[in-house]
Structure 1
Amino acid sequence: MSTYSFLDCAASLTSDDATIDLGYGAAVADEGITFAAAGDKNTMTVGADGEGMHSLHADKSGAVTIRLLKTSPANAKLMNLYNLQAGNSKKWGRNTITFNHSGSGDNGTASLCAFRKKPDLKYAKDADIVEWVFDAIKLDTKLGEYQ
């Protein structure tokens, strides 16, 4: 029997200006961390006579969404980094986000990441989660195997 647990998740954002822990222990929300490809890898074209072709795209871009509890100390670190990088184009788009799930061997690397925008902040009866979205020029993921 295989078992999944977020206890086995390690994630971090690194740049020239900071290293921020985003894995287990960083007050990650139940919704977790998402690595998502931005575009399709293929375009299928079918001609008038019914013959077709596939076009393989070199695009490896994507997005990483990190969802933290409102009370996570990582929010302040990310906001400070956002403000620093947004004020200097030489620092923008140079973050790397890595993820590793030791229980399965799953891993992901998002390179040349930029903050998409400041997160939306909601103040209500119950605290909300804070979603940080990063656009990545290169997104590489690998699924491991549960043992």
Structure 2
Amino acid sequence: MTTYSFMNFNATLDGPGGVISLGAGAGVAEEGFTIEFSEDADTMKTGADGTPVHSLSASKAGKLTLRLMKTSPTNALLSAMYNFQRTSPANWGQNVFTATDTVRGDVYTCQLVAFTRFPKNDYAKEAGLIEWDFNAGIIDPSLAAGL
């Protein structure tokens, strides 16, 4: 399949304080989502004689960035969830983020997710966007799994 549409993208943030739908209809900005790992899976060293050795990192940690329109009602939901989770360490870092592209078959499951900070908020001539950043302890990706 050669066609992509954000309309086929579904995402949720599930954790203490609620479940929030973050896909189409949530007021996601044009720039959308970014999911990235914190470090490389492989480190290679080369010996004096040119022999290489690979080291596989066990880390699956990474970062999620969600960009919402300034006027998105989802900002209020995330704000309430953030404030609730800050009330106790028992609530912190317990979120699960899932994202799927139902047509392409892409699936991301992120566990042990925490807000990094409350987002900055600019007031300017144009509305702009609000960026929510999260740290994820474990990211399990699968691209085009359903194809």
TM-score under structure 2 length normalisation: 0.95
SS in 2 for 1:90: helix
1: distance between equivalents of 2:66 and 2:101? 15
- Relative distance call for 1:137 and 1:49 in structure 2 (3 A) is same
Task: Tell me, yes or no, if the aligned pair for 1:2 and 1:146 is still in contact at 8 Å.
Answer: no
Task: Tell me, yes or no, if the aligned pair for 1:11 and 1:22 is still in contact at 8 Å.
Answer: yes
- Residue type of the partner of 1:42? D
2: distance between equivalents of 1:87 and 1:17? 11
1:89 matched residue in structure 2: 89
1:25 matched residue in structure 2: 25
Q: Which runs of 5+ in 2 are unaligned?
A: none
Moved over 6 A (4+): none
The Cα shift of 1:146 comes to: 8.4
The Cα shift of 1:81 comes to: 0.9
2: distance between equivalents of 1:98 and 1:132? 15
1: distance between equivalents of 2:6 and 2:146? 14
The Cα shift of 1:3 comes to: 0.8
User: Deviations 1:11-50 (Å, cap 9, x if unpaired)?
Assistant: 1100132000100000100100111011110110112222
2: distance between equivalents of 1:69 and 1:146? 30
1: distance between equivalents of 2:89 and 2:146? 42
Identical aligned residues as a percent = 44
- Residue type of the partner of 1:131? E
1:5 matched residue in structure 2: 5
2: distance between equivalents of 1:12 and 1:135? 15
SS in 2 for 1:58: coil
Q: Which runs of 5+ in 1 are unaligned?
A: none
The Cα shift of 1:145 comes to: 6.4
User: Deviations 1:49-95 (Å, cap 9, x if unpaired)?
Assistant: 22220000111001111100001111011011111111210100000
TM-score under structure 1 length normalisation: 0.95
- Relative distance call for 1:19 and 1:145 in structure 2 (3 A) is closer
The Cα shift of 1:120 comes to: 0.9
Alignment of 1:118-129 (within 5 A): 118-129=118-129
